[in-house]
Amino acid sequence: MAFDFFDGLNVLDLGQGISGPFCAKMFADLGARVVKVEPPQGDAARQLGPFPGDAPDPERSGLFLALNTNKLGVTLNLESASGRELLLQLVDGADLLIESYPPSYLPGLGLDCETLHRRNPRLVVTSVTPFGQTGPWANYQATNLIISNLSGHSREHPGPVDDLESQPPLQLAAQQTQFVAGLAGATASVLALNRRRLTGEGSHVDVSGMEALALLPQTTLADFAFGRRPKGRHKDVAGRQSLLALLPCKDGYVGISPRQQDQWERCVEMLGSPEWAKDPKFATRESRLANWDDLEPRLAAWTSGFTKEEVYRNAQGHHIPSFPLNTAADLFTSAQFRAREFFQEVEHPAAGPLRYPGWPIQLASGKKLELAPAPLLGQDNSGVLGPDGLGLTPEELVSLRAQNVI
């Protein structure tokens, strides 16, 4: 059972891939009735994986399963007249419609916002696309790599690297650009629904993934506004920003940052007071930064003899800022995550039991979020479209399936 923040809210999820479905997932997990509308061949995310055993299966994509918890699932061919009519009937009872198609796609099918609002003037339509509904790039498609670079993030993405020419800017890992866009879409949708509560009117929420991400590197934008030179990813620049070292350990990497003089003195003590630490070139913060290329390998030689947890705890005991660089495997064994029950095991009829990330919130009531598995393709066609939904008979459903409408 989901949280009940949006109990009674009816949402249609026409999203494909990540950004739109993630936006809709926010509402599904928080108590709304979300009907995921897929084309008969399924959401594109069903083909993306990762898959158990690396065997592609549209019902076992880890990405799709995680993005579509607590949703009902129906199939509709919107390129057929019957499919469009059924969607409009669903629109009649909806509060929010979320979609992530190119801006020209739905209007090209006669499903533009004006048509949707004629059917339901109170409907909030949220469009989550790479570049928004207007401008010369509106109908361009974009990947995580493209948005990472166009938003300005990749140019400032931390390295460190030795040569920017041979080691160019990076993209944000794990499709973050699309998740940020989806989160922006959910936030804007809640604001639009609140506005509707006051005015009684629906609206069209236009979310640009590039703009959502460009909001985040505000230091970059501020530096440019003040005429400062971009920092880039050069190793010397990254190291000189502050004494922050990402150092190798037996089982990965650890971050350590003795940037203040008292922290450095405790760091030297932690290192066993080596003779090299008495060298004047390591005496002050400025001299340590100026001689970073000499200092970094000395620190790495020490951390390489320990696990990242041992270095982290040792530094913590000496009151030195430090953190282990966790892998995905580390997260599943995190004592903090276990204590807050962040991961949940969900049984899916095709994929079996898998652990899913939950929500980063805890309720004072103690109520816990429970995740229902993502729907199988067309799983709820009968319940949503049939006698207890839109009123179609079993015979009509069979006919629509034969015509590839559902």
Last residue of a domain, one of 275, 303, 326: 326
User: Where do the H-state alpha helices sit in 304-380?
Assistant: 308-317, 328-332, 335-339
Residue 44 and residue 17 in contact, taking contact as beta carbons nearer than 8 Å:
yes
Fill in the DSSP letter of residue 226: T
| Average pLDDT for 115-126 | 97
Range of the domain at 187: 10-216+340-402
Which of residues 239 and 24 earns the better pLDDT score?
A: 24
Under the banding of pLDDT at 50, 70 and 90, the label for residue 149 is confident
Residue 159 lies in a domain: yes
Give the per-residue pLDDT at 235.
54
CATH of the domain at 344: 3.40.50.10540
- Pair 37, 12: CB distance under 8 Å: yes
Does 271 lie in the same domain as 317?
A: yes
353: DSSP letter: E
pLDDT interval class at 153 (50, 70, 90): confident
Rounded CA separation 405/37 (Å): 12
What's the pLDDT band for 159 if we cut at 50, 70, 90? low
pLDDT of residue 127: 98
Tell whether 264 and 373 lie within a shared domain: no
374-399: per-residue pLDDT in tens? 999 999 999 999 999 999 999 999 99
Separation CA 184–CA 202 (nearest Å): 18
Pinpoint the alpha helices (H) of 152-307.
153-156, 176-199, 209-214, 218-225, 235-240, 261-270, 285-290, 292-303
The more confidently predicted of residues 309 and 1 is 309
Do residues 279 and 352 both lie within one domain?
Answer: no
d(CA 243, CA 27): 42
Assess contact for 28 and 193: CB atoms under 8 A: no
Give yes or no: residues 248 and 176 share one domain. Answer: no
Residue 64 sits in the same domain as residue 151:
yes
Residues 389 and 89: their CA atoms lie apart, in Å, by 10
Rounded Cα distance between 402 and 172, Å, is 43
Task: Say if 332 falls within a structural domain.
Answer: no
**What pLDDT does 75 receive?**
98
From 118-122, 215-219, 240-244, the region with the lowest mean pLDDT: 240-244
Please tell me whether residues 268 and 377 are part of one structural domain: no
| The pLDDT of residue 228 | 74
Contact 111, 87 (CB under 8 A): yes
**Residue 317 pLDDT greater than 60, yes or no:** yes
Same-domain check for residues 376 and 299: no
Are 85 and 210 in the same domain?
A: yes
Specify whether 258 is located in the same domain as 385. Answer: no
Q: Is residue 3 very low, low, confident or very high in pLDDT (cuts 50, 70, 90)?
A: confident
Q: Is the pLDDT of residue 237 over 90?
A: no
Cα–Cα distance list, 337 to 202, 295, 330 (Å): 39, 35, 10
Quickly count: other Cβ atoms within 10 Å of residue 214's Cβ.
Answer: 17
Asked if 168 and 274 sit in the same domain, the reply is no
**Does any domain span residue 85?**
yes
- Residue 259 forms part of a structural domain: yes
Cα radius of gyration (the chain): 26
Distance between CA atoms of residues 143 and 224, nearest Å: 26
Q: Position 33: which residue type?
A: R
Residues above pLDDT 90, as percent of the chain: 76
Please tell me whether residues 73 and 210 are part of one structural domain.
yes
Number of domains making up the chain: 2
For all residues of the chain together, what is the average pLDDT? 90
In a domain, 119, yes or no: yes
Determine what percent of the chain is predicted with pLDDT higher than 70.
90
Q: How confident is the model at residue 349 (pLDDT cuts 50, 70, 90)?
A: very high
End-of-domain residue from the set 326, 357, 383? 326
Q: Mark whether 86 and 130 lie in a shared domain.
A: yes
Indicate whether 241 pLDDT > 60.
no
> Which residue from 379, 403, 6 is spatially nearest to 189, judged by alpha carbons?
6
Residue 359 is assigned to a structural domain of this protein: yes
Indicate the DSSP class of residue 234. Answer: B
| CA atoms of 371 and 368, how far apart (whole Å) | 10
pLDDT of residue 226: 74
In 3D, which of 25, 104, 6, 129 has the Cα closest to residue 70? 25
- End residue of a domain, out of 326, 351, 377: 326
Least confident of 96-105, 231-240, 300-309, 334-343: 231-240
| Mean pLDDT value across residues 298-324 | 95
Handedness of CA 82, 85, 91, 93 (dihedral sign): negative
Determine the average pLDDT of the residues in 254-283: 94
- Report the amino acid identity of residue 178: Q
Residue 359 has pLDDT above 80, yes or no: yes
| Length of the chain in terms of residues written | 406
Quote the pLDDT of residue 298.
95
22 within domain boundaries: yes
Tokens of 268: 């030297």
What's 321's domain CATH number? Answer: 3.30.1540.10
- Pairing mode of beta strands 322-324, 352-357: unpaired
Q: Above 60 in pLDDT, residue 233? A: no
User: Does a structural domain hold residue 116?
Assistant: yes
* pLDDT, position 161: 60
Nearest C-alpha neighbor of 234 from the set 303, 169, 179: 169
- Provide the token pair at 301: 């030689």
**Could you tell me which of 246, 370, 372, 383 has the C-alpha nearest to residue 304?**
246
Q: Once rounded to an integer, what is the mean pLDDT over residues 282-295? A: 91
Q: Roughly what angle, to the nearest 10 degrees, separates helices 19-29 and 176-199?
A: 50
Q: What is the pLDDT of residue 207?
A: 97
Q: What integer pLDDT is reported at residue 215 of this predicted model? A: 84
